[in-house]
Amino acid sequence: MARILITSAIPYINGIKHLGNLIGSQLPADLYARYQRGRGNEVMFLCATDEHGTPAELAAAKAGKPVAEYCAEMHAVQSDIARRFGLSFDHFGRSSSPQNHKLTQHFAGKLAENGLIREVSEKQVYSKADGRFLPDRYIEGTCPNCGYEKARGDQCENCTKQLDPTDLINPRSAISGSTDLEVRETKHLYLRQSEMKDQLDQWIDSKTDWPVLTTSIAKKWLHDGDGLQDRGITRDLDWGIPVRKGEDDWPGMEGKVFYVWFDAPIEYIACAGEWAEANGKSDADWERWWRTDKGADDVRYVQFMGKDNVPFHTLSFPATILGSGEPWKMVDHLKSFNYLNYDGGQFSTSQGRGVFMDQALDILPADYWRWWLLSHAPESSDAEFTWENFQASVNKDLADVLGNFVSRITKFCRSKFGEAVPEGGNWGEREEALIAELTTRIREYERQMEAMEVRKSAATLRAIWVAGNEYLQNAAPWTVFKTDPEQAAAQVRLGLNLIRLYAVLSAPFIPESAARMMVAMGSDDWSWPGDATQALGALPAGHAFTVPEVLFAKITDEQREEWQGRFAGQRT
């Protein structure tokens, strides 16, 4: 039994996320976690809300609530939506937790001990109109590298170049739009990433199985322009983790907090400590996942994230871990995704454009969305959500292929043999051919899932569903029954067992529907199919089943047109 640690990029606390955010990290991570559990492996799947920084302060102020209260409420909202989407986290933590405070301060102390932090007196942008220093991402202007007019002070979203606010041309406050900015002197801590460039370069080169998207972004940050730069890890803010060296004060850093991009990845580790506390576990129980001197040396650690998060997870966070000099578990595989665009444009949280997770669940069950998003995951390039494509995929894949198969075989059996698996008859060449095809495709599906090839896995799973439909259509038990009821019984018996097999294989993609299929088959045997012949005999003759309600309702043209209009603009 393998041990697999899985983290997905932690969503920011300020608001409910759209479907593009979901497919960029959490949903494919859940797919992988469910698959690995289904194979009998021990999985620790962690995620959390990212709660520090200016966006949380501003969102709380807009809501008229203290920031701690706002974050607590939004964590509960995001946790509930994640649960309703079937995201099977072992723990959904909070970056504001006591565990993350302690661990972040611990790492800072270790980095300081190892000479990897320096104090810098620097000039920082202050907005007179806002009455505050502006964090990097709250300064907008023109990128000096590519000319993009809405570049942020920490990074240009267009060319991904790492920036400092003073690099921007024609800077303005992203809060008020004011250009009445001035540069004031302040003192901050910098992580000396440049000292670790060669070590990071060698580490990235060792990851030969990483997606090209991941390594190309990391290498670009390492080598383009002036190469990897030291990075400020503190900010002049009220809300955040106070700057300390472990348990000791840090002279000159009073009133400052750690930068959210320093403490947020550390929450992956702290989240395991939160899990242990919530479940009455000991430190040893979480350390066996994260400390190679405490048992984590045999753990495979996989991260999932959108491409905009790659630089911080291939460079800054590894620099923190390596720089500590302590035996922490490093990521083994980083699966990154491109962007999902929306119906001819882009998803936009600020403009409320696109479908957000809560809205999606208001109009259709989670499995409809899970299937479309995963089967169209933006792996090799950006992908686009269109309502026409969504309707076609749901209707053809889920309703016509899988749902229709389940309905036809169960209803036919009930009408001719009753609600129990029929006995009699034997399998012939057609059945053996189906078993051979299923065996080949199941092994292919396993290889693709292990490799985290999400779209290919979905296509193979659909082909497995199609194989059952084609068998049923060609075998035509409703016709065979007229002349050879026993042979029809054998065909129906195979078909009912296919439903259980489909439930097991489909559970990572559509867990709620898979559970309904399993309940209808009167089975709780979720064992992974080793041999297709054995798997198709799991439900013996006489085993009771029920005919389920319609698994998937088709999306009508009227529904599609109404939804397309509803989600074209602002959230209501």
Do 335 and 424 fall into the same domain?
Answer: no
Q: What percent of the chain has pLDDT over 70?
A: 99
- For the segment 458-485, the average pLDDT, to the nearest whole number, is 97
Q: Would you list which residues are annotated within the binding site for Zn(2+)? A: 143, 146, 156, 159
Q: Which residues are annotated as a binding site?
A: 143, 146, 156, 159, 349
Q: For the chain, how many structural domains are there in total? A: 2
Is the pLDDT score of 260 beyond 70?
Answer: yes
pLDDT class of 108 with cuts at 50, 70, 90: very high
Which residue range is the domain that position 522 belongs to? 387-535
Phi, psi of 537 (to 5 degrees): -115, 15
Could you tell me the sign of the dihedral formed by the alpha carbons of 230, 236, 242, 248, in that order?
A: positive
Q: Binding site for ATP: what residues are annotated? A: 349
Task: State yes or no: pLDDT of 496 exceeds 90.
Answer: yes
Is residue 434 a part of any domain in this protein? yes
Say whether both 81 and 202 belong to one domain.
yes
For residues 418 and 333, membership in a common domain is answered with no
Q: Do 396 and 334 sit in the same domain of this protein?
A: no
pLDDT digits (tens, 9 = 90+) for 148-172: 999 988 888 888 888 888 899 999 9
Asked if residue 94 belongs to a domain, the reply is yes
Q: List pLDDT tens digits, range 330-349.
A: 999 999 999 999 988 888 77
pLDDT tens sequence across 173-212: 988 899 999 988 889 999 999 999 999 999 999 999 898 8
Q: What does pLDDT average to over the chain?
A: 94
367 part of a folded domain: no
Question: If we measure between CA atoms, which residue out of 46, 48, 47, 60 comes closest to residue 15?
Answer: 60
Greater confidence (475 vs 58) lies with: 475
Distance of CA 151 to the CA centre of its chain: 26
Query: Is there a domain that residue 359 lies in?
Result: no
d(CA 46, CA 67): 24
Q: With 90 as the cut, is the pLDDT of residue 571 above it?
A: no
Asked whether residue 309 is domain-assigned, the answer is: yes
- The answer to whether residue 568 sits within a structural domain is no
Of residues 221 and 276, more confidence is placed in 276
Name the H helices within 166-253.
197-205, 212-223
Q: What is the side-by-side order of every strand in the sheet holding 231-232?
A: 132-133, 117-127, 181-191, 231-232
- Tell me, yes or no, whether 189 lies in a domain: no
Residue 49 has pLDDT above 90, yes or no: yes
pLDDT at 164: 84
Torsion of CA 305, 310, 312, 316, to 10 degrees: 120
- Residue pLDDT, tens place only, 369-402: 999 999 999 999 999 999 999 999 999 999 999 9
Asked if residue 326 and residue 210 are part of one domain, the reply reads yes
Give residue 572's pLDDT band: very low, low, confident or very high (50, 70, 90): very low
* Residue with tokens 């509803």, as numbered in its chain: 566
- With 0-12 CB in 10 A as exposed, 13-18 as middle and 19+ as buried, what is 378? buried
User: Do 328 and 426 fall into the same domain?
Assistant: no
Whether residues 506 and 395 fall in one domain: yes
Residue 244 inside a domain? The answer is no
Statement to judge: residues 288 and 419 lie in one domain: no
